[in-house]
Amino acid sequence: MVQYTLSAAAYGVPILHALKYPASEVLGLILGKQEGDDKNVTIETSIPLLHQWTVLTPMLEVALEQADLYATKRNLKISGLYYAGASSSGLTIPSHVTKIAEKIRNNSTFDTPILAIDNNKVKDDQLDTMLVPFLYKDNQWRAQRTTFGAVDATASVQSISFTLQDKQQSLNAIEAVLDKQGYDKLVDFDDHLEDVSLDWFSAETLISAK
């Protein structure tokens, strides 16, 4: 079974990004690495990219190049992306986002997911199920039913699993940031373009699971 394990920062940063810009689409990257027998993928962090233009533009290409260099310095790889529509939208992934996801997938040695934020779960404050992973199967992006502890009872074999590392501790750390509206301090690449003194690689520091 292929298992994807997310750190508190990898899981929490997409949520903070979506909450900071609820009226906009937001897009970011997840960074990770393969471990063990290569069936295990550890997602260590997430990087917030955009909240203004989520299409594949020259500036996004620049951001992807910078993120790739940053990942390499940490012995990580771009391992997928995360996406949230505006707060009024449902759980759908538009074609301009899947095009970016496919670009990442084509440069990877393993299945790279899209982590979509379910705005209905955000409204209901269901923190442990806010992220829904999508993987490319049978020529389309499909939501994964075995996600962060949920199990598809109709499936005889669970071939893919997404888990949150130290789940309760991680959720508590994320909740602590939400309680303080700490998402207001998050900086994405768009923010960095407006003020280059802002560090768009610093979002993970907002969340500490220690």
What tens digit of pLDDT does each residue of 66-99 get? 999 999 999 999 999 999 988 666 678 999 999 9
Predicted local distance difference test score (pLDDT) of residue 56: 66
For residue 133, how many other CB atoms are within 10 A of its CB? 23
Reading phi first (left if > 0) and then psi (alpha if -120 to 50, else beta), residue 119 is in: alpha
Predicted local distance difference test score (pLDDT) of residue 149: 58
Mean of pLDDT over the chain: 87
Please report, for the chain, the start and end positions of each structural domain, with discontinuous segments joined by +. Answer: 2-206
| Cα R_g (the chain), whole angstroms | 16
Predicted local distance difference test score (pLDDT) of residue 111: 86
Q: With a cut of 50, which residues of the chain have pLDDT below it?
A: 153-157
CB 2 within 8 A of CB 111: yes
- Please give the structure tokens belonging to residue 26: 């937001």
Task: Give burial (CB, 10 Å; 0-12/13-18/19+) of 182.
Answer: middle
- Evaluate if pTM is beyond 0.85: yes
Q: Enumerate residues 6+ apart whose C-beta is below 8 A from 187.
A: 48, 198, 199, 200, 202, 203
Predicted local distance difference test score (pLDDT) of residue 161: 85
Going by CATH, does the domain composed of 2-206 fall within 3.40.140.10?
yes
Predicted local distance difference test score (pLDDT) of residue 153: 44
